[in-house]
Amino acid sequence: MNTVFDAFAMTAAAHPSNPWLCVPAKADRDYEPAGIEITFGAAFAAIAALLTRYRAAGYGPGHRVALMLDNRPDHFLHMWALNGLGVSVVPVNPDCMPHEFAHQMEHSDADLAVVLARHEARTMDVAQARLKPLPIVTLERLPDAIPAPTTKPLRRDISRASEAAVIYTSGTTGRPKGCLIDNAFMFAVGDWYATIGGKLKLEPGRERVFVPLPVFHVNVGTNTAAALILTANCLILPDRFHPASWWRDVAATRATAMHYLGIMPPLLLKAPPCPEETQHRIKFGLGAGLDPQLHVKFEERFRIPMVEVWGMTETGRFFADCHEPRRITTRAFGKPTAAYLAMAVDEQDREVPRGAPGELVVRWAGDDPRRGFLRGYLEDEAATEAAWRGGWFHTGDVVTQAPDGMLHFVERRKNIIQRSGENISAAEVENGLIDHPAVQQVAMLAVTDALRDEEVMACVVLGPGIAPDDAMARGIFAHGKARLAYFKLPGWIVFVAPLPRTSTQKIQKGLFFAPGSDPCAHPQAHDLRGLKKRSVA
């Protein structure tokens, strides 16, 4: 098997009646309100038909197609059809701002955009501003003859080394990097999930995994999708996380496993008891960011082992605290293995003593440390080599390692804020606020949030004579709203004195507030979390 398309074809031939994808019922949704279940056989027939249409249009190796199809099954139908032709996909976050979308289309050099009708106008705006033509087709009006690319496909064999996707992930410079993902990556992460075992054991043909995460993330779009194809299992894909109907949906879809983000367990624990919460078939939950103080409570109430994992787009494979005894009262996320190596290092890349904090670095054992990782950052060889210095991939996360090898998460070293599973570049938010006429200086911090793991706090230095009041905080928020996606906006704005800097003029974020103090309790802190709302197109 060279491609995930090949793997899908083999599974469909061997298990045509096995369910491949299930969409829970939701009466007010604009697609499949009654829900739907698709078998591997039916799905492969649809994939093969799409492949024929793309091939007829001239698509092949060297081409890239952007997909903005939200969480509809069609995302995967198009993805695997293109994969079979050696075409790379560029999954797009439907909540990204126009300039973010434009950057991804320009940077990836996309040859075509396949979008939902509600995204067509914004995609046309991006296309009109590009030098290279960007044909657009909508899912609802997909033409029989798909627009042809402007270049011919490259004359190369389709293999495991063929590029399969460009997945954009946040960077500390404000512009997201494009992670080049090949078929080898997809097989590596799929095999890893399928065989890691312990509490995460997947039984071939018997699992139904409920994943309320977006398909443009590597979690469901690559790792889980590949694992379930390789094991002939079913993906349950809601449009998003709905706490009010969670247990009803889990029970109705006969889910045997679930994925979560740290924000989800607290909301489920706060909900009143319902009959379905004890009638489920869930064998495990897989996710990250579950507060250790809530971990035991969740497992006791819902009778589900919640397995904390660590992973990132670049590494693909994840570590998991999935073997007993699990360390559920800590932020443990698993141990290195004989094949997947890890250690904590200092700023000189020297391993730190066990129990001391250091940056997590990882690699594959043997002669090829990059096996199963991203191929590299698109058009950024310097960033790729910097991340791989010394033959280890530098994650930017600070961890400790116990004497028995167990890894515990401490914090992120990179200038990243993680809110509800979204990685937010602090530099990008700073750039979105700094040109407000009243703002002289601005720096972003991550502050603890009970629901969303972290929230964005903007520390703002105002110009002389400007009142640091609530109206000014709201005005700065409104200014950012026109430039940033809703989830990147500051949930808190605190007005401060000139920001402390080093002798080389680097801002010292660790000196903004007194040690042990709560930044949100600062007398000039303004709570704007209620203004952060996702707008519906």
CATH code of the domain in which 70 resides: 3.40.50.12780
Assigned domain for 133 exists: yes
Asked if 229 and 149 sit in the same domain, the reply is yes
pLDDT at 412: 72
List the 453-462 sheet strands across, edge first: 439-449, 453-462, 492-495, 525-527
Angle, vertex CA 60, rays to CA 56 and CA 62, nearest 5? 150
| The domain boundary residue, chosen from 414, 449, 464 | 414
Q: What is the CATH number of the domain that holds 391?
A: 2.30.38.10
pLDDT at 12: 98
Asked if 284 and 136 sit in the same domain, the reply is yes
Assigned domain for 222 exists: yes
From CA 344, how far away is CA 230, in angstroms rounded? 33
Coil, helix or strand for 266?
helix
| The domain boundary residue, chosen from 292, 320, 348 | 320
Show the domain range for 520.
416-531
* Beta bridge partner(s), residue 332: 408
Q: What is the CATH number of the domain that holds 456?
A: 3.30.300.30
DSSP state of 256: S
- Considering its fold, how many domains does the chain have in total? 3
Asked if 258 and 345 sit in the same domain, the reply is no
Instruction: Answer whether 306's CB lies under 8 Å from 298's CB.
Output: yes
Asked if 404 and 260 sit in the same domain, the reply is no
pLDDT at 535: 66
Per-residue tens of pLDDT for the chain, all 537 residues: 999 999 999 999 999 999 999 999 999 999 999 999 999 999 999 999 999 999 999 999 999 999 999 999 999 999 999 999 999 999 999 988 788 899 999 999 999 999 999 999 999 999 999 989 999 999 999 999 999 999 999 999 999 999 999 999 864 445 789 999 999 999 999 999 999 999 999 999 999 999 999 999 999 999 999 999 999 999 999 999 999 999 999 999 999 999 998 889 988 998 999 999 999 999 999 999 888 889 999 999 999 999 999 999 999 999 999 999 999 999 999 999 999 999 999 999 999 999 999 999 999 999 999 999 999 999 999 999 999 999 999 999 989 999 999 999 987 776 778 888 887 878 788 878 988 999 988 999 999 998 888 999 999 999 999 999 999 999 999 999 988 999 999 999 999 988 886 434 457 787 788 888 999 999 999 999 999 987 654
Contacts of 30 (CB under 8 A, 6+ apart): none
From CA 120, how far away is CA 140, in angstroms rounded? 11
**C-beta neighbour count of 421 within 10 angstroms:** 21
Asked if 288 and 404 sit in the same domain, the reply is no
Asked if 451 and 340 sit in the same domain, the reply is no
pLDDT at 498: 85
Asked if 377 and 363 sit in the same domain, the reply is yes
Residue with tokens 């009143």: 272
Amino acid identity of residue 399, one-letter, is V
Asked if 34 and 19 sit in the same domain, the reply is yes
From CA 20, how far away is CA 233, in angstroms rounded? 6
Asked if 410 and 440 sit in the same domain, the reply is no
Burial of 482 (0-12, 13-18, 19+ CB in 10 A): exposed
Asked if 110 and 143 sit in the same domain, the reply is yes
Q: Are strands 257-261 and 284-288 parallel, antiparallel or unpaired?
A: parallel
| The domain boundary residue, chosen from 286, 320, 354 | 320
Asked if 440 and 393 sit in the same domain, the reply is no
Residue with tokens 């199963």: 372
pLDDT at 506: 57
Asked if 393 and 420 sit in the same domain, the reply is no
Burial of 58 (0-12, 13-18, 19+ CB in 10 A): middle
Assigned domain for 218 exists: yes
Assigned domain for 330 exists: no
Output helix, strand, coil percentages for the chain, rounded to the nearest 5. Answer: 30, 25, 45
Q: And the tokens for 346?
A: 């200092």
Assigned domain for 116 exists: yes
N residues, the chain: 537
From CA 483, how far away is CA 429, in angstroms rounded? 9
Assigned domain for 331 exists: no
Assigned domain for 329 exists: no
Assigned domain for 492 exists: yes
